[in-house]
Every structure is written in C-alpha cells, then in structure tokens.
Chains A and B, each alone.
Chain A
Amino acid sequence: MKNRVRELRTALELSQGGLGTELGVSRQTVNAIEAGRYLPSLPLALRLARFFDTTVEALFELEAEDER
C-alpha cells in the first residue's frame, strides 16, 4: 500500500524520530510505514492523518492487489 507519510513529513522538515515521538511510536516503525513494510493500525493511521491535518484516505492509497 502506497502512502504519503514521507512526503508530508519531509515537507514539515521533521525527522523520522521526531514524527515517532509525536505519534508515540519508534523511529523504526515510522521508517517501516514509509517504506510500506508495515501497515499501521486504524488508531495509528487516524493519529497520522490528524497530525498531518489530512484524511486517512488522502494519506494511504490502495493498490490494485489490495482491492477486493
């Protein structure tokens, strides 16, 4: 699943560790989310969207193989 987390984070000139601190997760988790290796839970996805003042749908994009 594609996401815009890295794009929005770098636009704020925030480090992965800094974003992790804001969201209460580790830097490694932020890295895994940005790289698409980890899908955040719904509460974390909502906190991410709220932090970037956007919606979950705008932040995460379903890819063809994710569609059912």
Chain B
Amino acid sequence: MTTTRTARRRNLSVAAYLVLGAAIAVAAWIGGSWPLAVVLGAFYLVTGGVLFWWAGRSGDVAALLRASGDERQRMLDLRATAVSGLAMGAFAIAGTVVQLARGEDANPYAWVCFVGGVSYAIGLAAFKLRG
C-alpha cells in the first residue's frame, strides 16, 4: 500500500471517528445534558488528534484504525470483531430473555437480536457468493 493511500485512509478513519464523536456529543446536548456533551466533544477531539498523530508513527495503531495493516493484522482485526460481535449478541440475547422472564418489553434487546441475526444471514450469503 502506498504512503499516500495509507495517509488518505488514516485521514478518513480519524474523520469518521470525529463525526461519530460529534454525533454522540450532539445527541447528549439535544437530550439536555450539555456538560456531558462538552466533555464528550472534548474527549473525542483530543483522542482523535492523538490517534491521528500516533497512527502516523505506529504501524500497529494505523492497523487498528484500518489505515493500513498486513494480512495478519487484518486477520487479528477480523477475529477481534467476531469476538466482539458474539459478546454483544450474547448480551442482547440474555437481555431479551431476562426482560421476557420479567414480563417486560424486550426492546431494544430484541431489536438488536433481530439486526444481528439478519446481518449474519446476509453476510454469510454474500461471502458464499463471493467464494
């Protein structure tokens, strides 16, 4: 991967991180919690800057940001993502079960389970087609 392409991907990754942070901060603001919004905004700004600087100097951090990474780093990222997905799925299922047992509304756990199941089926079908 060329240096220019790596730099472009790093910029995109950090930009996406900052946009996500801004969305969360704005949501907190809209929800009426402006001190939290300010703290969150500052947190994402500072950590975004640190990640941008660090990714330029460390291949491992750049790989975490998906700005670069060899085949092994991509495999590690994929496996870690799968473990994270499984953990979140298990948590959503447990939440659904507990809520139902309590006779309460199972949302949003049930919706998370639904999204997880559908996205898994779509992913499986797509990757099977790709070979």
Chain A residues near B (Cβ < 8 Å): 24-26, 28-29, 32, 38, 40-41, 44
Contact = CB atoms under 8 A, between A and B. Distances in A.
Given A25-B70, A44-B71, 4 more contacts: A24-B70, A25-B72, A28-B73, A40-B72
Contact of B60 (A28, A32, A40): A28
A25 B73 CA distance: 9
Contacts, number: 23
B95 interface: no
Contacts of B60: 26, 28
Contacts of A29: 70-73
B59 interface: yes
Interface in B52-67: 59-60, 63
Nearest to B1: A24
23 contacts: A24-B70, A25-B70, A25-B71, A25-B72, A26-B59, A26-B60, A26-B63, A26-B70, A26-B72, A26-B73, A28-B60, A28-B72, A28-B73, A29-B70, A29-B71, A29-B72, A29-B73, A32-B72, A38-B72, A40-B71, A40-B72, A41-B71, A44-B71
B50 to A, nearest CB: 21
A44 B63 CA distance: 18
B78 to A, nearest CB: 13
A17 B39 CA distance: 41
